[in-house]
């Protein structure tokens, strides 16, 4: 049984160009550094022909197995209502979990992959733009001193324009990437025609010979070979934007041939001129074309960086909506496209991280050691989650799951071990980024769970309060009170504090709970669940997918227009609780975790801003909560 796909299958020239510009920017710029990084480890004493063919064969079969077989043929079948990506896959895997412990373990795998993906989003712009600008040194060594300043300038400009959105810039992404792939494919083909012996690397045998000869040392090459498949996760992550078929067709009939030809062209050049190892990509081009190629490469790496930055925004929002991160500011940069967003806090964090990486490592060869671990870690998490989804959700027999996914899992483990060997050389960077992000996400998730448990313990069940209300003789005053609560079945603390201090209840009361579903979007007709308790008291549960941003006033106005509630914007007051976290007598979190959770809470975007509530109609009531 195969997974049903809800993604669009529409195949047009526009969709194919869009796929090239958004999906394949990262993997498309890997030829700038991947082959060079792999062969440099064996450069001492000269590179033998069989070594060049062995590494080439490793790269080619990595593209075939990891990208074509794993992602294009299998993982892309596991769409969550048309959406892909590590968090969407995690949500899909959690549905088949039968215990809370199982769901928690799946969550750990998912947030590990997400944390590493965010680290990848920081390293990709640094290594991509740096490797492109380094082409200036091939034109003339005198440009060496301007590589770092120029790289920093390009990256700074890229991050500073993020607030404008990618819509207008995106129109040129596709044609530029089409030109890029056509150019690198043609350069590679010209060199291959001059030395067709390089096509011996199409066989897996040179790769096998290479690994047999070097034994464990072959892992060093594998750690750089994986750079050729960086960006493969984008095929799956961006499936919701374009659909499965355009992504598959673009890969099979354009991107894969262009990449393979360029890698083989670099290999053919090295077979003829081993000294070209200094920069085989740019030396493929005739001298008169190298400056235009540097400009084109810089444009392509900017596009690749843009794709990773946009992906980081999407992953961060998904983490917020699924409860793994505090509220962050989300700015919609398009009136028509829900997915085009800008997140200032995430953008600033990425900018600072990218600048530090460029200044610390100074060249793409050094930075390559830091790159692989983030990628291979995400690969590993994706394969494990996909295995669970195909077995439990799609009903594959265990034998079929083992035949398909165990070899892919072994390949991912090999990649991961190979890149882990580079931790002392720079691999510590994604480890640190991943651990910090993972710790923050896990602390936030755990803290929220404890907070909700404390609310349920200290609060009064909603139905009990409503049953006593007629006998309480509580004074009702004109107006509409909207109480925001995270627990739909319990009385919000803000109402209890309002009754305690003001001794009144509004004549119209709305209890509003926002519930985040494990699907990308919720149909408008399924958005709200309204319960009428009588006495002008309603409970409203608003459901949002992890790709959506809530807007409470708009939804309440829509429900009023449908006649389900009585609501007038200018008569409504929104009551929110503001919790101050303090340590319980017997703390359920370590002191450092409690400090971190409190810090994240204080720096999260205010609920008024996140839920689009008018700030001049908000009443906040504070409370101390011990956890």
What is the rounded distance in angstroms from the CA atom of residue 156 to the CA atom of residue 355?
8
Q: What is the mean pLDDT of the chain?
A: 87
pLDDT at 7: 41
Q: Which residue pairs, CB below 8 angstroms and at least 24 apart, start in 292-295? A: 293/135, 293/183, 294/132, 294/133, 294/135, 294/136, 294/138, 294/139
Q: Which residues of the chain have pLDDT under 70?
A: 1-10, 45, 165-171, 241, 334-339
pLDDT at 2: 40
Q: List C-alpha distances in Å: 427 to 151, 369, 420, 433.
A: 22, 6, 7, 11
Q: What is the pLDDT of residues 338-381, one digit of tens each?
A: 567 788 999 999 999 999 999 988 888 778 777 778 889 999 99
Return the domain boundaries, the chain: 16-446, 460-626
Instruction: Output the six-digit token pair for 209.
Output: 């010979």
Chain centroid to CA 367: how far? 21
φ/ψ of residue 300, rounded to 5:
-65, -40
Torsion angle of C-alpha atoms 252, 258, 260, 262, degrees rounded to 10: -170
What is the rounded distance in angstroms from the CA atom of residue 164 to the CA atom of residue 190?
40
Q: What is the pLDDT of residues 584-623, one digit of tens each?
A: 777 788 889 988 998 898 888 888 888 999 988 898 877 7
pLDDT at 5: 42
pLDDT at 8: 45
447, with CB counted inside 10 A (0-12, 13-18, 19+), is buried
pTM: 0.82
- Mapped onto helix, strand or coil, the DSSP state of residue 587 is coil
CATH topology of domain 16-446: Amino acid/polyamine transporter I (1.20.1740)
The one-character DSSP state at 605 is: P
> Shortest CA distance to 617 belongs to which of 607, 625, 605?
607
What is the rounded distance in angstroms from the CA atom of residue 92 to the CA atom of residue 86?
10
CA geometry: angle at 122 spanning 292 and 407, to 5°?
Answer: 95
């Amino acid at each position: 049984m195969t997974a049903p796909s809800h993604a669009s299958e529409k195949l047009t020239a526009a969709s194919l160009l869009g796929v090239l510009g958004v999906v394949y920017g990262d993997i498309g710029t890997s030829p700038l550094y991947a082959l060079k990084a792999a062969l440099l480890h064996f450069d001492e004493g000269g590179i033998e022909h069989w070594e060049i063919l062995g590494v080439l064969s490793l790269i080619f079969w990595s593209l075939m197995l990891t990208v074509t077989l794993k992602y294009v043929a299998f993982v892309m079948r596991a769409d969550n209502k048309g959406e892909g990506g590590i968090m969407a896959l995690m949500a899909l895997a959690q549905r088949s979990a039968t215990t809370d412990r199982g769901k928690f373990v799946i969550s750990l795998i998912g947030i590990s992959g997400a944390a590493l993906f965010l680290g990848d989003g920081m390293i990709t712009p640094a290594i991509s733009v740096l490797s492109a600008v380094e082409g200036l040194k091939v034109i003339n060594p005198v440009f060496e001193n301007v590589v770092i300043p120029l790289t920093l300038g390009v990256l700074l400009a890229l991050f500073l324009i993020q607030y404008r959105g990618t819509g207008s810039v995106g129109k040129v992404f596709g044609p530029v990437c089409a030109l890029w792939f056509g150019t690198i494919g043609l350069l590679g083909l010209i060199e291959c025609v001059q030395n067709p012996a390089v096509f011996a690397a199409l066989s897996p045998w040179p790769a096998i010979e290479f690994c047999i000869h070097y034994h464990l040392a072959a892992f060093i090459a594998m750690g750089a070979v994986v750079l050729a498949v960086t960006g493969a996760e984008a095929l799956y992550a961006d499936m919701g934007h374009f659909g499965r078929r355009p992504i598959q067709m673009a890969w099979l009939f354009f991107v894969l041939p262009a990449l393979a030809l360029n890698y083989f062209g670099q290999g053919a050049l090295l077979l003829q001129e081993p000294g070209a190892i200094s920069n085989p990509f740019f030396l493929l081009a005739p001298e008169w074309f190298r400056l235009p190629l540097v400009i084109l490469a810089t444009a392509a790496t900017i596009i690749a960086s843009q794709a990773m930055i946009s992906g980081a925004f999407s992953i961060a929002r998904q983490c917020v909506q699924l409860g793994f991160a505090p509220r962050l500011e989300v700015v919609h940069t398009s009136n028509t496209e829900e997915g085009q967003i800008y997140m200032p806090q995430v953008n600033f964090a990425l900018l600072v991280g990218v600048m530090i990486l460029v200044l610390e490592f100074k060249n793409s060869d050094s930075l390559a050691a830091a790159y692989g671990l983030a990628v291979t870690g995400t690969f590993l998490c994706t394969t494990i989650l996909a295995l669970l989804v195909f077995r439990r959700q799609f009903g594959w027999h265990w034998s079929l799951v083992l035949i398909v996914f165990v070899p892919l899992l072994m390949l991912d483990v090999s990649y991961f071990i190979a890149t882990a060997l580079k931790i002392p050389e720079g691999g510590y960077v994604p480890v640190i980024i991943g651990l910090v992000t993972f710790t923050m996400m896990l602390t936030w998730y755990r803290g929220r769970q404890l907070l909700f448990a404390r609310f349920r313990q200290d609060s009064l069940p909603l139905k009990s309060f409503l049953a006593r209300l007629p006998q309480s003789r509580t004074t009702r005053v004109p107006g509409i009170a909207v109480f925001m609560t995270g627990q739909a079945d319990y009385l919000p603390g803000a109402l209890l504090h309002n009754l305690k201090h003001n001794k009144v209840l509004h004549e119209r009361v709305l209890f509003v709970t926002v519930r985040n579903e494990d699907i990308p979007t919720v149909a408008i007709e399924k958005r709200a669940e309204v319960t009428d308790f009588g006495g002008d008291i309603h409970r409203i549960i608003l459901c949002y997918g992890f790709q959506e941003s809530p807007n409470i006033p708009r939804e309440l106005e829509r429900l009023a227009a449908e006649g389900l509630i009585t609501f007038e914007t200018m008569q409504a007051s929104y009551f929110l609780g503001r919790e101050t976290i303090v340590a319980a007598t017997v703390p359920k979190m370590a002191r450092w975790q409690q400090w971190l959770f409190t810090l994240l809470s204080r720096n999260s975007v205010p609920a008024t801003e996140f839920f689009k509530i008018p700030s001049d109609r908000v009443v906040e009531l504070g409370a101390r909560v011990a956890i």
